[in-house]
Every structure is written in structure tokens, then in C-alpha cells.
Amino acid sequence: MSIRFDDQVVIVTGAANGLGKSHALEFARRGARVVVNDLGGSRDGSGGSGEAAESVVSDIEQAGGEAMANGANVADYAQVETMVKEALERWGRVDVLVNNAGILRDKTFAKMELDDFKRVLDVHLMGAVNCTKAVWETMRAQEYGRIVMTSSSSGIYGNFGQTNYSAAKMGLIGFMNTLAIEGQKYAIKVNSLAPIAATRMTEDLLPPNVLGLLQPEAVTPAVIFMASEGAPTRQIIAAGAGVFARVVVQETPGVFLPPENRDAEHVAAAWEQIANTDGQSELTAGGDQTMKFLQKAAAELGIRLD
């Protein structure tokens, strides 16, 4: 079955280069009207220019599609509001938001200035919050929406020299988890991408022969799927080099310690059993963990919960 976005309006942030450009072009190829958002700054977020975004719009229009360029800084909510307002005035709706904009200011935590830490959070995490907030009521009112966060293996697993970036990217997972729950009754689905691709963000981090395998176009299919009508929700899809995987956070069964043994020494003594992954499971809401713990404790103590 072909996935199409005819008559849908898609906003892609950071869409002038790399992954964002690839996403924007593919959405347009599949019939979407695309807002190509990009501040046009350098990799560390400094500067700004609208030329690259206009170039992407030109490519889309030359191929017969519809698009508009926008230079809003995603870290500035007022600018984001204006961007969404312009899209609504021109096309009347917003169906898909892809939060892709980002910057890098890598240093070890010991050497990192707090301003650089905050700036990365402002763009990656608060930028996604700002854009999502600006489209949320529209999506609720039309009872349809698809939102894709751009997380990272650095956030999920950690990466040397990227405490700021990692914190922002893992924050997006928590943001997605609760948004997906709150959006369910309005047919708003929220997912996250964890990509690896050859972009200006990674060009000096990987050797040329590896970069050749990591074209952005090999990642975009995951975004198209997560933005489609038949998309799942509350999922993390890792993608790169044509490989696609689901990332799952799981929890071990755990160990109950009775009151007389409820101290750090007994936690240490039971650690091997606590950390045993046999029988671990995926939880789908914070309340699931609460119920799991209460049920386990009640069973050990012979208490009925009903």
C-alpha cells in the first residue's frame, strides 16, 4: 500500500540540509505541502540565512510540489507561533510536525560552559516543545496529528563529550511518552527517530568510507512511516545505513525486600538478582510500574489490593 500525504500540511524543522532536507523532499514527493523551516545558522547555532531553505522550496516547486520557507528560530516560541499561523493562513491545517532542528556544542562536561549546555537544550528539547505546543491545539481540534521527535543513540545510550546533547535527546523520549498518552483520544500519534546519518553534524566524527553508507535518504523512510496514517505511537525507531530497529526500554522483574531487610546492604546483596534480565518487560506508562511494584509487594506480604 502506497503511503501518501495528499492535501496534508507538514512542518519540518531544520529542513535546509541533511536529514531535514531529505525528509522535506520526500514528504513533498508524496503529495504533502511542506513548511521548510530553518534558521540557516552554523552547526553550533550561530548566524542565520534563509538561502538554504529557499533552495529546498525551489527544488520542491520545480518538481511540481507546494512549499514555503520559514526562518523561525525554534527556541523562540513567538517566532514558532508565527510560523504555524502562516501555515494555517495559507493551507488551513497542520497534519504532521517533524522536530528535526538541532545544534552541536560538544565538550567534556568538565570543560563545558553552562551556557553551551543550556543552548543545546533550548534548541533540541525546548525547540521541539515550542513547535509541538504551537500545533497541539490545531491537531486536537482537527482530531488528527502526527509528531516525530528526533532523538539519538547519544541520549539513549550516552556518548563521550555530549552531556548537553544527550540530556536533550533523552528528554525528548520522556516528552514523547506522555504526549502519546495525552494525544491518543484525539488521534494524535507521537514517535521518535534515533538516526545516524552523514550530515554536517557528523561529517568530522566519522571516516569518509563510513559516511558513504550513511546517506540521509536511508533514514527518511522511518520518518515517513511514523508520520503516516497507519503509524504506531510512542515508538522509538533507530535508522541508519538502511537498517531499521525498534528501541525498547525494559525493566527487570525486581526483588521485594521485607521491612527488616530494607536497607542499602540488602540491596547490595540482592543486586545480582535485581539486575537479572530474565522475565524483564516493557512498561507503557508510569502507572504500570506503580502497579507492578504494588502487586509484587502485596503478593509477598499476603495483602489483597482490591
Active-site residue numbers?
A: 165
204-217 exposure pattern, b = at least 16 Cβ within 10 A, e = fewer: eeeeeeebeebbbe
Locus of grid cell 522535506 = 24
The DSSP H or E segment spanning 250 is: strand 250-251
Query: What Cα–Cα distance (Å) separates residue 138 from each residue in 33, 69, 183?
Result: 16, 20, 12
* Number of alpha carbons in the 13 Å side-chain half-sphere of residue 213: 10
User: What is the C-alpha separation between 239 and 79, in angstroms, rounded?
Assistant: 31
3-state secondary structure of 1: coil
Backbone φ, ψ for residue 98 (5° rounding): -115, 110
Q: What is the DSSP string of 182-193?
A: HHGGGTEEEEEE
**Helix axes 163-183 and 114-142, enclosed angle (nearest 10):** 20
Measured between alpha carbons, how far is 228 from 222 in angstroms, rounded to an integer?
A: 10
Extract the C-alpha cell encoding 151. 532523538
**Could you say which DSSP state residue 272 is in?**
H
Can you tell me the distance from the alpha carbon of 195 to that of 52, in angstroms, rounded to the nearest whole number?
22
CA distance 18 to 150: 13
Assign 237 to helix, strand or coil.
Answer: strand
- DSSP state letter for 260: G
- Count of CB atoms situated within 10 Å of the CB of 192: 28
